[in-house]
Amino acid sequence: IIVGAGIGGTTTALLLSRKVKNITIDVFDRFPKIVGSTIGGTWAANVYPGVRCDVPSHAYQLSFAPNTQWSEYYPQGAEIQQYYENTVKRFGLFDRFHLRHEVLGATWDERLNVWSVEVRNLDTGHIRTETADFFISSQGRISTPKYLQLEGLYTKFRGEVIHTARWRDEVDLTGRRVAVIGNGASGQQLIPNILSKVQRIDHYVRTKTWVTATFAKDLYEASADASGGPKFTNEELDLFKKDPKAYLEFRRQLELTLHRPPGADVLGSEANHSLRDAIIDTMLRRIGGDKDFLARILPDYAPGCKRLTPAPGYLEALVGPKVDYITDRIVRADETGLWTADGVHREVDVIVTATGFETGFTTHFPVLGLGGVDLKEAWSQDGELGYPNTYLGIMAPNVPNYFTVLQAQGNARGGTVPLQIEIAATFIAKATRKIQSQSYVALHPSAHAATEFNDIVSGYFDDKVTSDKCGSWFKQAPGRSRVLIAWPGSLHHRAGILKDPRWEDFHFVRSPDAKRNRFEYFGNGWTEKEARGDEREITDYLHEVRDVFEAAEHAHEAVAIKSKL
């Protein structure tokens, strides 16, 4: 059972369906009716005007399922959602996705060595219990909207209130006075994309943010009138489709820009100061050289403490005649608008809360492992441990056959989110195959192994920019607090460590048949492959050899999924 039909759960389902034999996969996702029943997670939930990814289309895709026909350099959210849904259908897994089904809780049954999972059908209200050998949480770290708690907002204000993550297309902003609260990625994308139709925008900002030219150096710098960058021409799309080598090289050059050298992530380093200067130059250029306004919008923390955001058109909108940039604290709402701490009342017709998401680094529902330990309670900030005590950002001690995707410590520096997911899913496949093929029924990492991993995590981020005084969903609290999102190292560092599981870190439970002899799985000494008698399968160790050294490196290993599909 996989929780979450975002790109984490979707990618994991796709890879496990090919990497693990004799597997049955069920994916449950809880999205409310306002979002609709679609695969894609955050890319299904966020449909506000202007939503798109700031990572290039041809990098923000699965390495094993490339799409040569992306329409723009930076993809719109709807195109990303459609890509993942189409890939699920292509793999024949669409019927295994149970949308509008909410997981209420999961309990490990120590007697039967299975997960018992309570699931509620959100259309009928019916609750049923599902069982599974393995339970994978990909619930999404940005999936539950954070609703603004403000006196009078939902009880007195007579206009419309809408959260960017629960956008309603029927809300017409034409000629209306709009308040936009929040300047994270959604607020920055929304403002330039509604600017032309509204009468005016009151933009309320609590924390200032660094606005970069691009997400990474050497990428295309999008503009207000072309926020997706250049559209691919018919000639380019035709080349990508017909010339695999040319397309591979194009993708390689994009990917190289996302593997940044170390240095700028160290607080107080020369590289971080240089990055700061470069971003200031970009921001000053985008606001037409207005140094007084620059002083109003510059953050007081190091760049990289929060996620850097390009936001084409956002800064240009702030210095335009339609936008009022407000940093005074909002104290309450009344029937017609908002009051700020300086005693000013501003009337508006619509209030948009671009206030982001609740942090999702511990489970949204009870997960009970050995001895009834509940991860939801133990890992919460006020719980027994106070933070997600993961093993390598994928598993949890004393919680057998449980895995997480894109949760705490599940995202390394460099590369893209889809690639990070592939690394995790491949590790999960290896653990699953070991249980499946060697007469075990369960495994879980030792508490000592998890503790020592988390000691490494704590020490690694001591001198990093994430420890500066900003507040961010990257970490537990503003200022110097525990970093939750990140792996202690680069993508290649993470991939190398997770490539070969450290089985010595695990506790294993043998199947009943193997309690007398651990090699029970030897069977009668023959394989199903031989019984089927397929000639190609029997000689599958033979391949066309183009490079003798490469052939030696991969001899007798499973053929990589990238070359199969």
Instruction: List, for residues 407-456, the tens digit of each pLDDT value.
Output: 999 999 999 999 999 999 999 999 999 999 999 999 999 999 999 999 99
Does residue 556 surpass a pLDDT of 70?
no
Rounded to an integer, what distance in angstroms lies between the CA atom of residue 308 and that of residue 211? 7
Q: pTM score, two decimals?
A: 0.94
State how far the alpha carbon of 121 is from the alpha carbons of 100, 103, 104, 114, in Å: 6, 9, 10, 22
| Residues 6 or more apart whose Cβ sits within 8 Å of residue 85 | 38, 39, 40, 94
Q: Please check whether residue 417 is in contact with residue 80, taking contact to mean a CB–CB distance below 8 angstroms.
A: no
Does residue 559 surpass a pLDDT of 50?
no
What element of type H or E holds 130?
strand 127-132
pLDDT confidence tier of residue 133, bands split at 50, 70 and 90: very high
What pLDDT, on the 0 to 100 scale, is given for residue 563?
Answer: 34
Each residue's pLDDT tens digit, 365-400? 999 999 999 999 999 888 888 899 999 999 999 999
Rounded to an integer, what distance in angstroms lies between the CA atom of residue 256 and that of residue 263? 17
Percentage of the residues of the chain whose pLDDT score is greater than 90: 84
Closest residue by Cα to residue 457 from 410, 404, 406: 410
Let me know the angle formed at the C-alpha of 328 by 324 and 331, rounded to the nearest 5 degrees: 115
Rounded to an integer, what distance in angstroms lies between the CA atom of residue 365 and that of residue 102? 10
Does residue 522 surpass a pLDDT of 60?
yes
What pLDDT, on the 0 to 100 scale, is given for residue 358?
Answer: 82
Report the amino acid identity of residue 19: K
Does residue 34 surpass a pLDDT of 70?
no
What pLDDT, on the 0 to 100 scale, is given for residue 32?
Answer: 63
pLDDT confidence tier of residue 132, bands split at 50, 70 and 90: very high
Q: Please check whether residue 183 is in contact with residue 308, taking contact to mean a CB–CB distance below 8 angstroms.
A: no
What pLDDT, on the 0 to 100 scale, is given for residue 440?
Answer: 97
Each residue's pLDDT tens digit, 433-444? 999 999 999 999
CATH 3.50.50.60 in the chain: give the residue spans.
2-30+100-144+359-507, 160-217+260-353
What pLDDT, on the 0 to 100 scale, is given for residue 561?
Answer: 36
Q: What are φ and ψ of residue 339, in 5° steps?
A: -105, 140
Q: Which of 279-283, 326-330, 512-516 has the lowest mean pLDDT?
A: 512-516
Each residue's pLDDT tens digit, 525-542? 999 999 999 999 999 889
State how far the alpha carbon of 134 is from the alpha carbons of 80, 113, 234, 320, 414, in Å: 28, 10, 45, 54, 29
Does residue 565 surpass a pLDDT of 60?
no
What value does the mean pLDDT take over residues 200-227? 94
pLDDT confidence tier of residue 476, bands split at 50, 70 and 90: confident
What pLDDT, on the 0 to 100 scale, is given for residue 385?
Answer: 86
Rounded to an integer, what distance in angstroms lies between the CA atom of residue 172 and that of residue 470? 35
CATH for the 2-30+100-144+359-507 domain, from 3.40.50.620, 3.50.50.60, 3.20.190.10, 3.40.640.10: 3.50.50.60
Sign, CA torsion 460/464/466/468: positive
What value does the mean pLDDT take over residues 249-267? 92
Please list the residues that pair with 337 across neighbouring strands: 347
Tell me the pLDDT of the chain averaged across its residues: 93
Sign, CA torsion 415/375/145/15: positive
Each residue's pLDDT tens digit, 331-377? 999 999 999 999 999 999 999 999 988 876 888 999 999 999 999 99
Rounded to an integer, what distance in angstroms lies between the CA atom of residue 132 and that of residue 118? 11
Q: Which of 16-20, 90-94, 110-114, 548-552 has the lowest mean pLDDT?
A: 548-552
What element of type H or E holds 433?
helix 417-437
Percentage of the residues of the chain whose pLDDT score is greater than 70: 97
Q: Please check whether residue 412 is in contact with residue 487, taking contact to mean a CB–CB distance below 8 angstroms.
A: yes
What pLDDT, on the 0 to 100 scale, is given for residue 560?
Answer: 37
| Helix ranges (DSSP H) in 171-290 | 185-194, 234-242, 244-257, 270-286
What pLDDT, on the 0 to 100 scale, is given for residue 562?
Answer: 35
Domain 160-217+260-353 of CATH type 3.50.50.60: yes
What value does the mean pLDDT take over residues 467-474? 88
- Per the listing, tokens 């799985």 go with 521
